[in-house]
């Protein structure tokens, strides 16, 4: 396969606030362009503080919001042209979200296997109970769980790390080619975070899945990303190879961001706020 999986061409999004007489415009995303190749699955990180426009960008890529200017194309198709129906259905199967807080993403009164069954039925063409169960089990095994562990369980019965794995499995059940993960580890315990991050790497290598990883955590972004873009107030201020940029950021904002990361102490290192 050749060509672009996802292509953003100077995408901007402006929100208008206020009424007839006091209209203000908020530019959430300004002139963002990047391209993910179909032939080369990668983990692409979008980094920025809150208000930098990274979540708006995610909503544009998920076709939940149309850009004000510029075009976003998925496999050559303009996302603005997606109508409800078969096109949109195929797009939803191919691009799946993973949300920040797994405790809020799932209805506490609904069994977890139901989510997997529904996704299999709607997007993976599972016709009967047996096909749905097979699809759910396959997706759960890809994240290191199995249907036997999840069947009949409610969200409160699982830990945050397990629940986030189920959320990822649910996204995988439709057989997507792109995952949009918005802060997927910020609500997960530190000891389990590394395993979720490693899981993303495994999905990229084994399933050939491209992942857009949205975060403000530079350290995890460094450990898994192939490429990154750093956003400030809606604009991309720096982009390129993750290791090169994070090892030696050029833009003043990227530098500030890197200097503000509080990392665990290396032997002999002095704490920043030491007495």
Partner 1 sequence: MSAAMRNPAAKPEAAQGPVVAVRDLRAWYRLRLFGVDREVKAVDGITFEVRKDEIYGLAGESSSGKSTLVKTIAGAMRPPLEIVGGEIQFSFMDGTMGLNRAPADLVERVRWRHLSYVMQGSMSVLNPVRRIGTSFFDFAFRHMGLDNAGFEAAVVAHLARVNLPASVLKAYPHELSGGMRQRVTIALATICRPQFIIADEPTTALDVVVQKDVLAMFRSIQREMASSVLFVTHDMGVHAHLTDRLGIMYAGRLVEEARTPDVFARPRHPYTRHLIHSLPRIGDDRPRIGLEGTPPSLANPPSGCRFHPRCVFATERCRVEVPPMEQVAPDHRVACFEKDRVEATP
Rounded to the nearest angstrom, the gap between the alpha carbon of residue 3 and the centroid of all alpha carbons in its chain is 21
Site residue total, partner 1 (CB under 8 A): 43
Minimum Å gap between C-beta 224 and partner 1 is 8
* 26 scored as a contact of partner 1 (CB under 8 A): no
The residues with which 44 forms a beta bridge, in sequence order, are: 212, 227
Q: Which of residues 163-222 bind partner 1 (CB under 8 A)?
A: 189-198, 216, 218-220, 222
The answer for 51, left when phi > 0, alpha when psi is -120 to 50, beta otherwise, is left
Task: Report CA-CA distances (Å) from 152 to 66, 142, 157, 160, 175.
Answer: 38, 19, 10, 17, 23
Window 230-249: contact mask with partner 1 (x via CB under 8 A): -------------x--xx--
Window 132-161: contact mask with partner 1 (x via CB under 8 A): --------------------------xxxx
Q: Which of residues 28-67 bind partner 1 (CB under 8 A)?
A: 49-50
Window 99-128: contact mask with partner 1 (x via CB under 8 A): ------------------------------
Asked whether the beta carbons of 189 and 103 are under 8 A apart, the reply is no
Tally the C-alpha atoms within 13 A of residue 31's C-alpha that lie toward its C-beta.
5
SS3 content of the chain, % helix, strand, coil (to 5): 40, 25, 35
Interface residues toward partner 1, by CB under 8 A: 49-50, 158-162, 189-198, 216, 218-220, 222-223, 243, 246-247, 256-267, 271-275
């Amino acid at each position: 396969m050749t060509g672009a999986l996802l292509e953003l061409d100077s995408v901007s999004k402006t929100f208008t606030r206020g009424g007839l007489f006091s209209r203000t415009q908020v530019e959430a995303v300004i002139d963002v362009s990047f391209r993910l190749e179909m032939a080369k699955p990668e983990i692409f990180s979008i980094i920025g503080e809150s208000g930098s426009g990274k979540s708006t960008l995610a909503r544009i890529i998920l076709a939940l919001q149309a850009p004000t200017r510029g075009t976003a194309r998925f496999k050559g198709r303009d996302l603005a042209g997606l109508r409800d129906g078969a096109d949109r259905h195929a797009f939803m199967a191919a691009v799946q979200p993973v949300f920040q807080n797994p405790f809020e993403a799932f209805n506490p009164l609904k069994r977890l296997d139901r989510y997997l069954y529904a996704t299999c039925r709607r997007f993976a063409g599972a016709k009967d109970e047996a096909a749905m169960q097979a699809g759910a089990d396959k997706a759960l095994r890809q994240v290191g769980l199995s249907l036997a562990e999840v069947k009949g369980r409610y969200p409160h019965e699982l830990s945050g790390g397990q629940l986030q794995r189920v959320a990822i499995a649910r996204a995988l059940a439709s057989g997507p080619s792109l995952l949009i993960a918005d802060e997927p580890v910020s609500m997960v315990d530190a000891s389990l975070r590394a395993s979720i991050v490693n899981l993303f790497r495994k999905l990229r290598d084994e399933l050939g899945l491209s992942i857009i990883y949205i975060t403000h955590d530079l350290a995890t972004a460094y450990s898994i990303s192939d490429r990154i873009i750093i956003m400030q107030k809606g604009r991309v201020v720096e982009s390129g190879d993750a290791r090169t940029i994070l090892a030696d950021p050029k833009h003043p904002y990227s530098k500030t961001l890197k200097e503000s990361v509080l990392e665990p102490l290396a032997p002999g290192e002095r704490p920043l706020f030491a007495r």
